[in-house]
Structure 1
Amino acid sequence: MKKLYLVLFLLFILLAFKQDDPKVSHKGGKFALPKGITAKDYLPNTLIIKFKNGGTQQVNNIGGEAKKQLQIDGVIINSLSKLFPSARQTQAVQAIGAKALPDLSEIYVARYEGGANIVNVINALLKDDQILYAEPSYVYRTSFVPNDALYGNQSYLNKVMAPQAWDVLKNASNVVIGIVDSGSDLQHEDLADNIYINTADPINGIDDDGYIDNYYGWDFVGNSAATMIPDNNPDVTSDTTDHGVHVSGIASAVSNNAKGVASIAFNAKLLIVKTGADNNGRSIYKGYEGIKYAADHGASIINCSWGGPGGGQFGQEMIDYAVAKGCLVIAAAGNDDTDLPDYPSAYKGVFSVASVTTSDIKSSFSNYGYMVDISAPGSSIYNTLNGSKYGFKSGTSMAAPMVASAAALVKAKYPSYNGLQIGEVLRTTSDPIDNLNAAYVGKLGRGRLNVLNALTKTTSSVRYQQIAVADQSNGNRAAGNELTLKLDLKSFLATISGLNVNITSTSPYVQILDPNLAVGTMGTLETKTNLGPIRVKVLANTPQNQEVVFKLTYSGNGGTYTDVEYYSLTVALDYLNVTVNKVSSTLTSNGRVGYSKSDALGGLGFVYKDENMLYEAALMIGKSTTQVANNARNDGNSNEDFVKQLSAQQVSSTTAAFEGTATFTDAGSTAPIGLKVKSRLLAYSTQPDDKYIIVEYEIFNTSNAVLQGIYPGLFTDWDLDEASSNATQYDAGTKTAYAYAKKNASYPYVGVKLLTNVAPAAYYPMSYQVAGNPLSDSKFTIAEKYQTLSSGVKAIGLGHDTNNGYDIMYTVGTGPYTIPVNGSIKVAYAFIGGDNLTELLNAGQAALTKYTTGITDPEVPVDPISLTFNLKQNYPNPGKDLTTIPFDIAEKSATTLVITNVTGKVVQTLINETLNAGRYSVPVNLQTLAAGVYFYKLRAGTYQKTLKMLVIK
């Protein structure tokens, strides 16, 4: 077996191809494990990788060149193989109706040796422009909970009106239900006759259809997850792995045979797809591969009674594939009694099922949320067990196959319906149960399954496909501003006339100015786009980064059709998009430039010539090899040392087209230096100043000692054209660090220029692809960050003397500085775009001229919205770790904000400075305060007010 160094083969690939889509940027530091995911939730040393079209040609030619490349972290690829060998690239242009099948021919599974952190390995992979995504191979858990027989054998079939439905239709023998699970009991007395037989591949030792002898189904895992050897026997081997047996019986036990149990759908065929190991019946290792297998082998309904917190592009793509082939993918919502996303249930296109008791009360274990489509009984369900036995199990695992069985009957009645339509029939004909679940209104789906209604009622169904949001505040949906929403709607079932959409919200932070949208008539499977606008006012007292849930109520057909749907939107974002000249970027509240978050989210980046060329620009302020306050990447994640004190806000300016400020501290650091930073961003709209923005940092010493040897700078990661083929150089005469596309001479230049001249400049170019630099091990430690800040001008460039260049980054900075107690320094940089190097340097000179001669201190905020002095209640209250104190300043005033204990002693001073008129929100760290009652007091000019808050532990 050929052993290849992981990033070596990537480098070889990336040298050969041009990026297909410049809007897709996968960079080191972007991938992070989802919240709640630990090593037990994914297969060790295993990755799912998708290449762009044509990338696989290079994979097949990996050879000597790759072996010459740099070894990273000692990781060695043991195998790299197509996940779906029979998939063809032409599938990408096939379609079912209006849905295109995703191209699965470029998806690979990689297995590697070495002890590197899986996040680092993935982020190294994502450096290659030919890779669309790289993810762990997630392990999921079956969604049932142990139960005993004390609850009795409850008549759940009666609850969902199955006996009455059988008078209408009971036979679904032409419908195949895919059971993607732990396997099943192929010889069970109440299952054997309904097991689907793949006559296209008889047991003859020959691969007749891509799988050898998959006559009774397929086992993707085999005996053990440690070996993962697939075979053609999806039978379970013990009672401990019989989760899939129970699920199979609920979906389609042999009914009316004078033995055992009955299912909703009579005679529906069970395609058994085993995705768990013989020795571990609770873990699902190959669930998404199983979904594709079921979709390819005739299943119209696919049941997934498993899930977990790990979501990604691979799983969504498998769902898209199945949906495009007309399947209904049904998934258990999960058993954690939470509204957090659980996958595959939370993926777009999946029919999500929550569990209720036979009294229609939410099962104590069931997940819930606006992503749930329907509920069904899942508590104490009696059905098939291994060895032709029967027994009880509980869980959303049991509710899902009940819905799958009903879906098979609907498919039998409406054979031309696609999967999404079948789901909508079940959803719109369910019985409402919100009145019995007051704490979960709208979060248990439309209602509880009613099979009789599904077979006898003709309904309409409208769902939004997309909602576009525009605002008046540079994209941050600011408090006091107006939003416009435009909807794309799709009708799935019967033609609806007189369709109206009414939008409401229980949030106290928005006012819907145009709540009604008249749509008119929509035919079956018709889509209408760009409907609206619907105007929404974000109220002046809205806290920052506030989530608002909107309820969309659909009505039509003379009042006989009503339905609801929910949409969530975050408003009053704590950053400002700046779009007043030929470059666009974002002012944040934490010192970053272009994005407020570490994974290229929360902002515009840096856009020039309609191209976003920035992946990351993070502030770093170094004092020593153990103290660097920063929010740059770090070992697959990022440091988040800067804590917002005063959020980004626009202020009036006598010269700039845009001027905005923000204030933050280094209180989030594990080793704080004792800093407060006021950042300022300026942009100009007229020549010669329309191709740059200026970013200034005033850095205050809030510690009790003089700060010496301070090095402020910016870690900047540019992506131009092909991100892996860039170069950077430093122009010492103008103190400009610039970057350009090595293989595309016509592509624009970008750069960062130091504008202050008090201390020497620093420039340190880096790349993951070059040995011996701080990024070569993907970690970028505190010591390495300090090294890049304090080494002066390290080199004249990187990649400029190669044929193809590298994926480059650099630190540009200045220092050392000494900052006295309560003193401050100012450093400033220009972010510049230009069509060529000469234009870039000329724009930089214009920025220097403007900064040194034409900039005054900021004045009052723009649009103060008729503010009055006002101190507001903190939120949350009571607070545990963090709370926020909001207040308004009506005019420029000397301001103090302090927290005192019950004796009046000041325990925290939050603000002691002159503030401009504006609306402020100050985050407060409560971790240093003991539990109890505290008071916070605001003084601004002659105004003063005190409020009480409670700290809990």
Structure 2
Amino acid sequence: MAFVQPAAAAPDPPTVPGRLVVKLRTGQPAAALEIALLTLEAHDVRQKFPHTMAPDVEKPGSVDLRGIYQFHIPATISLTRARAVLLATGAVEYVEPLYIRQPLYQPNDPLADSTLTSLTASQYYLKQIRAYRAWDITRGDSAIVIGITDGGVRLSHEDLRQQIKHNYADPINGLDDDNDGYVDNFTGWDLANNDNDAGYDINIIHGSLVAGVAAARVDNGRGIAGVGNQCRFLPLNIYPNTPTGTFAGFEAIVYAADHNCKVINMSWGAPGGYSRFEQDVITYAAVNRDAVLVAAAGNTNADLRFYPASYDHVISVSSVSSTDQKTGSATYNYRIDLTAPGTSILTTQGYHTVSGGGVAEADYVAVGGTSFAAPMVAAAAGLVRWQFPRYTAAQVAAQLRQTADNIDGLAANAAWAGRLGAGRLNMLRALTQTTRQEARVISSTFSPDRQAYMRGETLTLSASVQNLLQPVAGLTVTLTSLSPHLVVQQGNFAAGDLPTLAQTDNAAAPFRLVVAASGIPLNTKATLRYRLTASGGYQLDQFVEVLLNPDYVVLDANDLTLTLTSRGNIGYDNLSGSIGAGVSYKGSGSVLSEGGLLLATTPTRVSDRLRTNGGQARQSFFSLRQATQQRPGPRADQEARVAFQDTIPVAGSRIRSVGVAVRQRAYAWSTPGRRDFVVLEYSLKNLTADTLKPLYSGLFMDWDLPTDDGTGRNVANWDSTRALGYCYVPGLPAAASTPAQYAGVQLLRGGEPAVYSINNAAPVGSPVRFADGFSAAEKFLTLSSGTARAQRSAGLPNGADVSQVVGSRLARLAPGDSTTVVFAVLAASSLPQLQAAADAAAQAYSTLLPSRPSVLALGFNVYPNPTTGPLQVELPPQFGLREITIFNTLGQLVGRQTGGGSTATLSLAGLASGLYMVRALGARSVLTRAVQLR
């Protein structure tokens, strides 16, 4: 079934440096993509799976791997940049790194084995899973091949060498006799190092251990018996042992599927790092090639998603002890399908040791972990395939689940009930019980289709159901929320009678749900339960997850859709662009690869959450209050509020932050004439004991406006009349296919304007050079250079990859005082439209308050601001104070104080909280400041 990607429970696995994959959209021209690859200096571009099977219309859900390409990019180009350029072509579905998934080897503690109990000296697990009795039914056949995607295998082992499936169509002669693209792949293949030696590496013996569990030789009078009995195995090495090698687990899956492996075992993986590329590979093997995929659920002792085990179409296997109790390290979750023994598993040793006296040591060893539970299930799947040759891969999986021994009722497993799958593997029942039923949800479709859902949102869910085994009558699907934060308003679906392999769905009358309006913790993972029931007592539970109340908001009231995070970023909350909806215009892809607030007062005191070096981001800001939104708001059709701050600098500390608290408000309108911009208002409060003089603030925006030719080349420019910094696509005609030809940031209020345009590929010696990071000193330079770098070297004459900082300079900010800086983010199809949007943004913001404060005058300070009591007023020398008056937002006089001198103390007692204007009347001038009373 289809699961919504959950909130990350662990950091992403490591990736192969500089190597990316893209999947082409069907029917799209490749010219733009080719230009984009040239722009990224991509090399070693190759079709990743040129020999794979095309999709089959008779196999719904089958995928096309022929459109996936792999390439390298220079280390100086970030994944964020590459994603933006390639997605902007409109020719690719996704751009992803290649993750490195680790083997799950977890040997037993040597001290625990010191007594050499019966468990470690025998294959106790064969009796536990009813293998002996199962072999009386069938022993399988050498035609059933289990693909062992793992570390290399000890091909000469006495219990393995006769169980290897050889490719007699391609003998060792230096030729590709079978024309499959691999030369001399007679004994499996080494996908990691691209050669025909699938033998073991002395440092990675995991493959030999796994192969022995599944397929060790039976009835040879030696060693152990593999669970698969007569089934053979294909050794496929996925771990590098050469300088040019790289992890190749998913390439091995494709190889195994294309070389007639009826079952594929994956005793490796990692938490997190969901990948569409990896899911495509899994779907190809399971649907296109009808292979049963089995994976270890991981040794995390946690409730989390573990890949590849948690992908669709994979049998996820956790582990139990000899008494069917969950093993201490085993992963548990609602995605587990079943369990198998995973402690003291006696299997074939990965290397042959010799004692100092020249005597051979034992060739067998007892090991533990879900790595060795998985190949038991894979071997059982092989026997089921032989016993029931007409079963599809999905039916084999259903048969294994429905014949497992339920272990939830054991007191020792009470804490994990419902999260250990259908139970512990029972091979005898899997081969003999032919009256089982399993109808299950095979896909789930949410509308609107989003990464996460906000408080108070309503949504629908349609489920596609398929009956895999014996016919069912009166099938009903009931949806229940296991979370108090997600309410099911309509949760019944009468699917009716379904014969074997029939499908139905409730798309015409989907389930209806609503997210709670309050009380939801940030990034809450809500679980929904499908309960399928039918006549005769059939019942099955499945689960789907939804992410609620994410730590960002999406403003989408008009044509410009913009994501604001709770920590000052715009577009995305991470550099990989996976958290957030980006910034888009009129349905385009995201036109911004990275954006966010910058604050600085010196070259060493800079605060932000933007890129720094080594592919990392600074973490200056932390959230004070979750980003929230109102629709409609009191002043606009959609409003958002965010509160965050950086740390307060401490003398002698290595942390050189600015020391400012930020209250951010955002305004979006849906009315005509106001659909091309969003206004962002930042209230900045000095948290330090020192006056910040000056204080610089600005928005960094790495625009990536799409181009029809795929180059992604933009130009940065500056409109001094409007204090508008913008980027555009050079030479693009008005009728071009992309609506977002212009985008920019306008300073609406707050100090002297500044702009700095950046060529992201600037050469060595440039003042700002992203190739070696984006340092604090470079960030300060972009904020403090005024308008001197408005355009020079940023894309002219032919366009380039550009960024821009639009900011302001505030002369001073006293301790406890606050000031406001306001920007508008805009997008348009032409320069006149962008300029009109900028004028409309200025007019829209001017109407938010009935009066506007004058420009900050040197020496005029009002603090603390916001305040809860007395207000201190400092005036410039020779001002000649005559009177101070206080007005509310309606322009009504609510306070007056006369006097002289350069300082005064005002009492605001008796006034309601809110915004007020303090006006000082002098001998020759009038000064005005806004004050927030709490």
* DSSP 3-state at the match of 2:235: strand
In the alignment, which residue of structure 2 is the partner of 1:656?
A: 636
In the alignment, which residue of structure 2 is the partner of 1:419?
A: 393
In the alignment, which residue of structure 2 is the partner of 1:465?
A: 443
Q: Name the TM-score, length of structure 1 as normaliser.
A: 0.76
Q: Does the 8 Å CA contact 1:502/1:553 hold for their aligned counterparts?
A: yes
How far is the alpha carbon of 1:121 from its aligned partner? 5.4
In the alignment, which residue of structure 1 is the partner of 2:746?
A: 754
1:143 to 105, 108, 111: 105
How far is the alpha carbon of 1:408 from its aligned partner? 0.4
Cα 1:220–1:394 shift into 2, 3 Å: same
CA distance in 2, matches of 1:391, 1:420: 34
How far is the alpha carbon of 1:547 from its aligned partner? 1.9
Cα 1:137–1:565 shift into 2, 3 Å: closer
Q: Does the 8 Å CA contact 1:82/1:108 hold for their aligned counterparts?
A: yes
Q: Does the 8 Å CA contact 2:475/2:497 hold for their aligned counterparts?
A: yes
Cα deviation, 1:420-446, whole Å, max 9, x if unaligned, reads 332222123222112221222222222
Q: Does the 8 Å CA contact 1:184/1:248 hold for their aligned counterparts?
A: yes
In the alignment, which residue of structure 1 is the partner of 2:184?
A: 213
CA distance in 2, matches of 1:694, 1:58: 34
Q: Does the 8 Å CA contact 2:758/2:803 hold for their aligned counterparts?
A: yes
How far is the alpha carbon of 1:730 from its aligned partner? 1.3
CA distance in 2, matches of 1:163, 1:628: 69
Q: Give yes or no for the alignment of 1:520 onto 2:496.
A: yes
Q: Give yes or no for the alignment of 1:720 onto 2:698.
A: no
In the alignment, which residue of structure 2 is the partner of 1:176?
A: 145
How far is the alpha carbon of 1:773 from its aligned partner? 5.3
Q: Give yes or no for the alignment of 1:158 onto 2:137.
A: no
Query: Equivalent residues in 2 for 1:79-90 (5 A)?
Result: 80=44, 82=46, 84=48, 87-88=50-51
Q: What residue identity is the alignment partner of 1:637?
A: Q
Cα 1:542–1:839 shift into 2, 3 Å: same
In the alignment, which residue of structure 1 is the partner of 2:567?
A: 590
In the alignment, which residue of structure 2 is the partner of 1:18?
A: none
In the alignment, which residue of structure 2 is the partner of 1:563?
A: 540
Cα 1:439–1:384 shift into 2, 3 Å: same
Q: Does the 8 Å CA contact 1:368/1:443 hold for their aligned counterparts?
A: yes
Q: Does the 8 Å CA contact 1:499/1:554 hold for their aligned counterparts?
A: no
Cα deviation, 1:708-753, whole Å, max 9, x if unaligned, reads 1111111112232237222222111111122223353234444334
In the alignment, which residue of structure 2 is the partner of 1:273?
A: 236
* DSSP 3-state at the match of 1:724: coil
In the alignment, which residue of structure 1 is the partner of 2:483?
A: 507
In the alignment, which residue of structure 1 is the partner of 2:756?
A: 764
CA distance in 2, matches of 1:645, 1:850: 28
Cα 1:855–1:750 shift into 2, 3 Å: farther
CA distance in 2, matches of 1:603, 1:307: 26
CA distance in 2, matches of 1:421, 1:173: 21
How far is the alpha carbon of 1:56 from its aligned partner? 9.3
Query: Equivalent residues in 2 for 1:228-627 (5 A)?
Result: 228=193, 230-236=194-200, 241-276=204-239, 285-309=247-271, 311=273, 312-323=275-286, 324-385=288-349, 389-436=363-410, 437-455=413-431, 456-457=433-434, 458-470=436-448, 477-479=453-455, 482-523=458-499, 524=501, 526-528=503-505, 530=507, 532-539=509-516, 541-612=518-589, 613-627=591-605
* DSSP 3-state at the match of 2:569: coil
* DSSP 3-state at the match of 2:780: helix
Q: Does the 8 Å CA contact 1:476/1:574 hold for their aligned counterparts?
A: no
Q: Could you list the runs of 5+ residues in structure 2 that have no partner in the other structure? A: 1-7, 353-361, 650-654, 853-910, 915-932
In the alignment, which residue of structure 2 is the partner of 1:644?
A: 623
Q: Give yes or no for the alignment of 1:745 onto 2:733.
A: yes
Q: Give yes or no for the alignment of 1:100 onto 2:62.
A: yes
How far is the alpha carbon of 1:356 from its aligned partner? 0.7
Cα 1:275–1:169 shift into 2, 3 Å: same
Q: Does the 8 Å CA contact 1:241/1:278 hold for their aligned counterparts?
A: no
Cα 1:481–1:134 shift into 2, 3 Å: closer
How far is the alpha carbon of 1:596 from its aligned partner? 4.9
Q: Does the 8 Å CA contact 1:830/1:844 hold for their aligned counterparts?
A: yes
Q: Does the 8 Å CA contact 1:548/1:570 hold for their aligned counterparts?
A: yes
How far is the alpha carbon of 1:290 from its aligned partner? 2.0
Q: What residue identity is the alignment partner of 1:562?
A: Q
CA distance in 1, matches of 2:826, 2:386: 63
Q: Does the 8 Å CA contact 1:46/1:137 hold for their aligned counterparts?
A: no
In the alignment, which residue of structure 1 is the partner of 2:5?
A: none
Q: Does the 8 Å CA contact 1:621/1:711 hold for their aligned counterparts?
A: yes
CA distance in 2, matches of 1:690, 1:121: 32
Q: Give yes or no for the alignment of 1:785 onto 2:774.
A: no
Cα 1:91–1:161 shift into 2, 3 Å: closer
* DSSP 3-state at the match of 1:500: strand
Q: Single out whichever of 387-396 and 201-210 deviates more from structure 2.
A: 387-396
CA distance in 2, matches of 1:215, 1:654: 73
How far is the alpha carbon of 1:401 from its aligned partner? 0.7
* DSSP 3-state at the match of 2:371: helix
Q: What residue identity is the alignment partner of 1:639?
A: R
CA distance in 2, matches of 1:476, 1:142: 31
Q: What residue identity is the alignment partner of 2:187?
A: Y
Q: Does the 8 Å CA contact 1:82/1:105 hold for their aligned counterparts?
A: no
CA distance in 1, matches of 2:95, 2:457: 37
Cα 1:781–1:349 shift into 2, 3 Å: farther
In the alignment, which residue of structure 2 is the partner of 1:729?
A: 717
Q: Does the 8 Å CA contact 2:254/2:281 hold for their aligned counterparts?
A: yes
Q: Does the 8 Å CA contact 2:686/2:814 hold for their aligned counterparts?
A: yes
* Greater gyration radius: 2
Cα deviation, 1:397-455, whole Å, max 9, x if unaligned, reads 21111001100011112334333332222123222112221222222222111122222
Cα deviation, 1:890-945, whole Å, max 9, x if unaligned, reads xxxxxxxxxxxxxxxxxxxxxxx9989xxxxxxxxxxxxxxxxxxxxxxx99xxxx
In the alignment, which residue of structure 2 is the partner of 1:186?
A: 155
CA distance in 2, matches of 1:330, 1:475: 28
Q: Does the 8 Å CA contact 1:499/1:520 hold for their aligned counterparts?
A: yes
Cα deviation, 1:648-679, whole Å, max 9, x if unaligned, reads 34467555222332322223994332212221
How far is the alpha carbon of 1:303 from its aligned partner? 1.0
How far is the alpha carbon of 1:299 from its aligned partner? 0.6
* DSSP 3-state at the match of 1:815: strand
CA distance in 2, matches of 1:338, 1:265: 30
Q: Does the 8 Å CA contact 1:640/1:668 hold for their aligned counterparts?
A: no
Cα 1:641–1:683 shift into 2, 3 Å: same
How far is the alpha carbon of 1:57 from its aligned partner? 9.1
Q: Does the 8 Å CA contact 1:735/1:761 hold for their aligned counterparts?
A: yes
In the alignment, which residue of structure 2 is the partner of 1:904?
A: none
How far is the alpha carbon of 1:257 from its aligned partner? 4.4
Q: Single out whichever of 270-279 and 566-575 deviates more from structure 2.
A: 270-279
Q: Does the 8 Å CA contact 1:177/1:271 hold for their aligned counterparts?
A: yes
Number of residue pairs matched by the alignment: 800
Q: Does the 8 Å CA contact 1:252/1:266 hold for their aligned counterparts?
A: yes
Q: Does the 8 Å CA contact 2:569/2:597 hold for their aligned counterparts?
A: yes
Q: Does the 8 Å CA contact 1:47/1:136 hold for their aligned counterparts?
A: yes
Q: What residue identity is the alignment partner of 1:610?
A: G
CA distance in 2, matches of 1:475, 1:108: 26
Cα deviation, 1:550-608, whole Å, max 9, x if unaligned, reads 24243233143211122222223344333333333344433334445554455443333
How far is the alpha carbon of 1:70 from its aligned partner? 11
CA distance in 1, matches of 2:712, 2:792: 12
Q: Name the TM-score, length of structure 2 as normaliser.
A: 0.77
CA distance in 1, matches of 2:377, 2:270: 20
* DSSP 3-state at the match of 2:173: coil
* DSSP 3-state at the match of 1:422: helix
